[in-house]
Structure formats: C-alpha cells, structure tokens
Structure 1
C-alpha cells in the first residue's frame, strides 16, 4: 500500500484515477482548487477512510507526506484554459515547480500529465515522442501548449540534475463519463447538442482529424507508466491511434443518440491543429499497453452519462 497524491483529482481524469488507486488498496490524497474540477465527481469516495480531499491551488507550495505524485492539475480544454491564460501558465509552471520540490524532499516518484498539445499543429503524422512540435508561442492556445512544454523541461531538469524519478505522459484526446459538460471539447459538445436535438456545430469543413481514447484506457496507461522502473522516464504518448474526422464523429453521435440534430459549419478557430494522432510504439513496447475500447462503445457509455446528467440536473449543462 502506498500513499499517493493526485493533483487535479476532482477533474474528469483525476477523479477516475483516484477511484482506481483506491481499488488497488492505496491511500489517496486528492488536491484540487475546483476551478474546473467538480466535487460531485468525488461524492462516492468521501466516506472511504483511505481517501482525503484537500482544497488547494498548486501554484502555492503544499506540505504533505506521500510516496508517489500524479500531477494532473491544470484546466485542459480551450474554453477553460483561455479564460485566464496567466493562471494557466502559472498552474503549469509554478505547479510543476511546487510538486517537483515536494517530490524531491520526499524522494517520491512523480508523474506529469503532459499533452499532445506540445506538438502544436504538427508537420509529421502520426506524432512520435521525438518530434519537437510546431507551436505558436504567442497564440491563443500558447498558455496551455507552452506551459506544458515548460513543465516537461522542468521535470527533465530535475531528473538530470537531482536524479528525481520522473514520468512524462503525453495525453491525446480523451473522453468518457465524468467529462465537464461545458468544457467546449468536441465529444461533450456533440453529445449534449445531439441529446437536445440542437444543431451540431463543426468548425471548418470537418475534415480535421482527432484520435479519441476512452477514459479507462488512458488511466490504465498512466498507471502502467508509474509502475515502470526509474530508468523509464518518458515522454510516452498515450492515446488511441485510430483516427477519425470531426465530421465522422458528429455522424456517429447523431446515430447513437437517434437525434434529429443537423450539422452546421462555423469558421475554423485560429491555431486549431488539422491532424492529431499518436504513435504509440513506445507505449506498446515499454508498458505493454494499447487502447481496447472501440469508439462506438465508449461513446455509448459517455452518452448515457450525459443523458443522466441532463435528466438529473439540466443546469449542469447550460
């Protein structure tokens, strides 16, 4: 049994990670400032004696005792991270500095949840970990993209200079139950629009591609990386290599919800990547990992989640 700290633990991925760690018998300290996370994601865990919830902003130092740290704290959707870009950069950079300082004091293994956004609008396809990316440092997405890139640099420096056991994971588009209904991500947007028979909004002609990884598969890959020897530091891509156009996703959602929604097109936002697909060769080799949930199966589970959310409290989805 280990004591594990999860920052951003009330979020979409963090809350599921907390649940999986508890199922393995570990003690879990969940830290979140609830900027985008939702306490309702944790209600079913609050009575567990091995679970502790702390309201805290990682841009300030934290003094706890733990064996491992998963640093997931940061708004991850454009709607949220663009709302306060300065704070987004601070969360990425100051948060990484504070968590790395804590890990160094405790000699704790620490994992950084990085992102496929470090590749920007890539010139190579699929994206391999060795690719340095094509990122606009002063674009509307740069607070997140460059913040995460700097966090990776900090982690690598602590590993080189201090010998700190680090893990870097680059997360590609992930979806599933627990997603924030108003995060502006394409899966949650399409499902909520379809369930309410509203027009489904596609930016551009819909030919841009994404790869969609189901929540359970992503967390499984993350936990496998944490269990690797200290010589395995990453970065390692975790995502689904099956590629779909945004228009294909919209048609799938309309079919699975039996919706009357129509597709409408809006101008493509500036700096929106045209292609995003992971090369997961390293994850297969080093983690014996690959995603196992087909898109339609994952979409059905996510649709059920949002359908229940709409029925129980429509205000969540306004």
Structure 2
C-alpha cells in the first residue's frame, strides 16, 4: 500500500514508518520538525519505498499533493509534551484542530482510510480509573493551557467521527497513554527520558509535585504494532481504543528505579508544578487505561515490561 504518516519524523512516527517500510509498503512522511528529528528516520532514508517531506499539515496545498493516491493515513502530527503545549498554546490548538481538519477533508476527497492518534489527556482530571473509552470527561478551567490541549484532541475525535457518520470515511481513533522508548526526548517534558539522561550523567533527577502521581508506560514497539492491527482490522472502523499498558508506577518510584538501574549517584529532588510549568497548573493523580476493548478487537497484549523498556532506553542513550 501507499501510506502517509503525518509527524512521521517524530518519536512514535519514525518507529511506525520503519515497521511499515519493513512490511513492504510505500511510506510517505510529512513533518515540520518542530518536535520531530531527521535523525529519527536515518535508518530508512535511503530505502526506495520511503519518501519524506519537511512541511506543515497546516499547508493545505502541500497536503493535497501528498494525499493523492494514498491508501491509508496515520495522523500523528500534533503538539506534544506538556512543556511544549504550555509554551506554545496557540500553535498547539491550530495544529491539532486545523491540521486534523485538513487531513480528514483530504482523506475523504481521496478515499483514504485514516487512523487518528488521540491522547489520554482526553479524560482530564477524572479520578475514575481505569479509564474506559466511554467514560465522562472532567476538565479544569479554560485559563489552564493543559485543558485546551485536551479539548483540541477531543475536537479531533468529534470531527473524525462526524466524517465517519456523515461521509462514511473509514476512521479509527486511538487514545495513547504514556508511550516511551528509544529516540524519545525529554526536551518537551517527557518524564522517562529526562530521568534516564539525568541519571546517566549523575545529575539531579527532578520530580514534579509530590511524586505520588501514578502512570503506566508502554513501549513504542507495542503501541506501533497496535496501530497497524487497528488500521487493518475492518471491525475497528468508527471505534475509539485505549492503547498502553496497565503496569502502574508512581513517578517517585520511577525516579528511584531509574537511579538504581543506571547505577547512578544522582540525587532525587522535588519541584513544584508552578515552578516547573505555570501558575495554577493541574495534574491528574492516577492515569491507567482499561484495555478490555483493544484486547477484544485485536488481541492486544503488551510484550514489554517497564524494566525491559528502561533497559532499552538506557542502552539507546548510552550510545
């Protein structure tokens, strides 16, 4: 097939591109390199079935050219990382809403199937864990930038489902929970690469808030495999799926685990959310997906444990 990946030079997008090229597909990537990097796609740049374009999904003319003749679109391009979203609130909203509208409208024109990547931020600060796909959402006030991101991704989902219902455009929506692995950068607030890099350099490992908040970290290989199965399973069309893992750990314990596995001399320090992000910043205490639906539809089972993931990331950053 001919497949377009938006955000394909990003952390997840590059792993997806590699997998799809390995499977014999012709893969086209578009990325504006705001958070993606060309070195992420270095291993496949010379492959005859791989092509990349540096550009924005907001560029309608460019997207029209790229979309023509495409069978499938994996739409990953979006503002990513809490730090990036807070520092670039307007661009984040425009990228997520207007960019997704471009993708859906053109996919409908050229009859391409679309997988939309959404986020666990959709659930907001609800404390009803694990999160089910049909749960109510609980959000904070509009002056908190984080909730604008959550709303923009919800609008993406509403638009995708509207195209499915009104135009019969085949769409699949995936809500990713904390996805980690080699190539991920801590530059935009991603916690695990930040911890590992600090530990390897014997620098302070900085935990935000109390550190009692819990998260579930899934390996990018498991997540990318789920994307491809969801895209290619007909009964998944028009549905929303959580993808991640249910192995939960507090951020404080994650810092301790990383320090131990890196054999590091780093100190673990604490910083308030206000100091790290913005005044009034709100976080959720616990975030865990219910994976019953994705298991039922495609038999999804994460292969990598958290220890496996951390080892893989340590090896990558040591290189």
| TM-score normalised by structure 2 residue count | 0.94
Contact residue 6 and residue 57 of structure 2 kept, 8 A: yes
CA displacement at 1:230 relative to structure 2: 5.1
Structure 2 CA distance for aligned equivalents of residues 51 and 30 of structure 1 = 8
Q: Is the 8 A contact 2:185 2:194 kept in 1?
A: no
Residue 180 of structure 1 aligns to a residue whose secondary structure is coil
Q: 1:182 aligns with which of 164, 187, 196?
A: 187
The count of residues paired between Structure 1 and Structure 2 equals 307
Alignment counterpart, residue 171 of structure 1, candidates 173, 176, 181: 176
2:111 to 90, 107, 110: 107
- Point out where structure 2 has 5 or more consecutive residues left out of the alignment: 275-280
Counterparts of 1:137 and 1:267 in 2: how far apart (Å)?
20
> C-alpha separation between the residues in 1 aligned to 2:202 and 2:188?
19
Alignment check: 8 A CA contact 2:172 2:236 kept = no
> Partner of 1:273 in structure 2?
284
| Runs of 4+ deviating beyond 4 Å | none
2:203 corresponds to: 198
**How big is the shift at 1:75?**
2.4
Looking at structure 2, the residues matched to 185 and 273 of structure 1 have their Cα atoms a distance apart, in angstroms, of 15
Which residue of the partner structure matches residue 252 of structure 1? 257
2:310 equivalent to 1:299: yes
1:121 to 96, 120, 125: 125
Distance 1:233 1:161 in 2: 12
Asked if the contact 2:186/2:192 (under 8 Å) is kept, the reply is: no
Match in the other structure for 2:223: 218
Instruction: State the partner residue of 1:45.
Output: 44
- After superposition, what is the alpha-carbon deviation per residue over 1:198-220, rounded to whole angstroms, capped at 9, x for unaligned? 11111122110000001101111
Give the distance between the partners of 2:26 and 2:166, measured in 1 at CA: 30
Contact map agreement 1:6 1:28 (CA 8 A) in 2? yes
TM superposition shift of 1:134? 1.1
Residue 158 (1) aligns with residue 163 (2): yes
Once the two structures are TM-superposed, the CA of residue 60 in structure 1 deviates from its matched residue by: 2.2
Post-superposition offset of 1:87: 0.9
Contact 2:30 2:53 in 1 (8 A): yes
- Does residue 102 of structure 2 align to residue 98 of structure 1? yes
Q: Does 1:24 align with 2:23?
A: yes
* CA distance, structure 1, for counterparts of residue 240 and residue 42 of structure 2: 33
1:163 shift after superposition: 0.6
Distance 1:32 1:230 in 2: 30
Q: Give the alignment partner of residue 135 of structure 2, picking from 125, 131, 135.
A: 131
Does 181-190 or 134-143 show the bigger shift? Answer: 134-143
| Matched-pair contact (CA < 8 Å) for 2:230–2:236 | no
Residue equivalent to 1:77: 81
Q: Give the secondary-structure state (helix, strand or coil) at the position aligned to 1:258.
A: coil
3-state SS of paired residue (1:259):
coil
What displacement does 1:226 show? 0.3
Query: Which consecutive unaligned segments of at least 5 residues does structure 1 have?
Result: 309-318
For 1:144, the equivalent position in structure 2 comes to 149
Where does residue 88 of structure 1 map in the other structure?
92
- d(CA) in 1 for partners of 2:222, 2:204: 30
CA distance in 1, matches of 2:181, 2:29: 20
Tell me how far 1:190 sits from its aligned partner: 0.6
